[in-house]
Amino acid sequence: MGSPPGQPPYGGVPGYGGGYAAGPPPDNYLVWAILSTIFCFWPIGIFSIVFATQVNTKWGQGDYTGAQESSRKAKNFAIYSAIAAVVLSVVAVLFVVVVAIAGSASTSTSTF
């Protein structure tokens, strides 16, 4: 059976706009944001850190939808940072291989 009208669900906390949040705040992914900034593609990782730091603040202010949205964005930007690092690494390796092949081909065809 549900809660009476106007009452929060069991364990719910009232929030802005008449919404209710039950349970703990969403994960802020701050550790992943920091790691993706340090070890992956830092320009995108910074966005992840910004959104990760907003999660607990918004949750504490009662903006539960905003906290969940910031959590989702922090996670996505950390993933994007890791993907960008992999793509850029592959491109760098391919560039080095192509330059090495071109360099060896140009030295082997030259005559003295």
Contacting residues for 11 by C-beta, under 8 A, at least 6 apart? 22, 23
| pTM for the structure as a whole | 0.70
- CA–CA separation, 45 vs 38, rounded Å? 8
The residue ranges of every structural domain in the chain are 12-106
Digit-coded pLDDT (tens) for 43-72: 999 999 999 999 999 999 999 999 999 999
pLDDT tens string 73-101: 999 999 999 999 999 999 999 999 999 88
